[in-house]
A = this chain, B = another copy of it.
């Protein structure tokens, strides 16, 4: 048996493997604040790449960024009934505005606020307040705003990246003159998410609509992208909500139409968060640690110089610097290749394993012999344990091609994995059998006719299964709901989920 860098392996204990990959790649750690994590530099660098790429896509589709208050007055949150009910149980509440000595050498809260504030779990209600002032006429529409921010939901069971009390995200909030335009925006942004997640994170996703009982609190329709992790569980990687006029009514967002009459506007909201990094980890990583698709790797290539003395060092480092420069002049996916020279004084094997566990796509070792031969020793993250000498010029000319191939291979591998684990289910018995048995063995996605009604939850809840979505593509079909027997106009995807 080959020793792997991560213990336990995926097969031995998947949840523990996940934590160990995060720790070995130095992505994040738990903090002294219950349920809140510290995002360490390597993890944050991934988030910065996600932000930069998504931000470009948002701006290309006409959105601009703004920033709204962290705190929401209780009275604002209460405006939309379903919404507040959905979030009341997990709100961090600010009740005081200073600290005073507690008489025991410590401090205690003082200065009770007349009205408590909630740390935003999401910002529809506080943004609605502004929008009601910004929107006056049809000329002000559409209003297309995005916010990059931290939000807080007091979660009882947390897991790094996947579910934390505080997390980082972006939340788009838009206002439109008609329902048609608002629905189109909702679907457009779902597409932006899907393209990004598939093209950059190399994660195949199913675009779908949430069944009625899984909607965002206060939404008319919620759309989502669903990915399959390596333990066959589903992960919701992003959501886009058509809010109808619910929030516009609650916040009084009205506009004068072309005929001079006042109309209530239509709104949308959509978001992705640091949770995506959890999905990224679980889609590609292996028993040697993190695997990063090249487009999301903070360093796509790490160069490890090897030398015995100062004289050798000068020669090797010069060679490495010029190699770095040549590689950086290449464009991969529209950006300069990101190259790092790791000249730290630590043992070579330990250094190599560090970058393997961090998921860097390509590593180059450069010693005196390589300099003499005008070559480098190339190691690939998708072929751990092997290294091959390659001419320097071949590497420089071929780097973009190698990275592109690695990117598409990772997507293809994840896509086959998922497609092999999508099973058509045609009866409730089959459904029960599919999800029954050892709860550590997950069977993937079940696809079955099902009506979009509240009642069907009763059939799936006992199995700890959730209805993930009604896929948007190739789903114009008709059959009998496997739960109720009623005619269903679509299939639905079911899975155990994060």
Q: Identify the A interface with B (CB < 8 A).
A: 29, 31-33, 36-41, 44-45, 47-48, 64-78, 84, 88-100, 106-109, 111, 116-119, 126, 129-130, 133, 139, 145, 149-150, 152, 154, 166, 168, 344-346
Contact B66 A38 (CB under 8 A): yes
Contact A88 B93 (CB under 8 A): no
Interfacial chain B residues near A29, Cβ < 8 Å: 130, 133
Interfacial chain B residues near A118, Cβ < 8 Å: 99
Q: In the complex, which residue of chain B has the Cβ closest to the Cβ of A67?
A: B39
Interfacial chain B residues near A95, Cβ < 8 Å: 93-96, 109
Contact B99 A88 (CB under 8 A): yes
In Å, the complex CA distance between A152 and B71 comes to 10
Interfacial chain B residues near A119, Cβ < 8 Å: 70, 94, 119
In Å, the complex CA distance between A118 and B129 comes to 26
Known: A84-B107, A152-B70. A65 touches B36 (CB 8 A): no
Contact A41 B65 (CB under 8 A): yes
Interfacial chain B residues near A133, Cβ < 8 Å: 29
Contact A99 B74 (CB under 8 A): yes
Contact B94 A92 (CB under 8 A): yes
Contact of A67 among B44, B66, B77 (CB under 8 A): B44
User: 6 closest A-B pairs (Cβ-Cβ)?
Assistant: A36-B69, A41-B64, A39-B67, A93-B96, A88-B99, A93-B109
Interfacial chain B residues near A67, Cβ < 8 Å: 38-39, 44, 47, 168
What are 27 residue pairs bridging A and B, where the CB atoms are less than 8 Å apart in the complex? A31-B69, A32-B73, A32-B129, A33-B71, A33-B73, A33-B126, A37-B69, A38-B130, A40-B66, A41-B65, A45-B64, A45-B65, A47-B67, A67-B168, A69-B166, A70-B119, A70-B150, A74-B106, A78-B106, A88-B98, A88-B107, A91-B99, A93-B96, A93-B97, A93-B99, A95-B109, A149-B150
What's the least CB distance linking A324 to chain B, in Å?
16
Contact A66 B93 (CB under 8 A): no
In Å, the complex CA distance between A14 and B281 comes to 54
Contact of A36 among B33, B71, B345 (CB under 8 A): B71
In Å, the complex CA distance between A109 and B89 comes to 10
Q: Kindly name the residue among A29, A76, A116 whose own CB sees the greatest number of chain B CB atoms within 10 A.
A: A116
Interfacial chain B residues near A166, Cβ < 8 Å: 69-71
Q: In the complex, which residue of chain B has the Cβ closest to the Cβ of A346?
A: B139
Known: A94-B92, A107-B88. A70 touches B129 (CB 8 A): no
Interfacial chain B residues near A111, Cβ < 8 Å: 154
Contact B145 A41 (CB under 8 A): yes
In Å, the complex CA distance between A168 and B99 comes to 23
In Å, the complex CA distance between A95 and B47 comes to 30
Contact B33 A69 (CB under 8 A): yes
In Å, the complex CA distance between A84 and B73 comes to 27
Known: A41-B145, A70-B166. A130 touches B31 (CB 8 A): yes
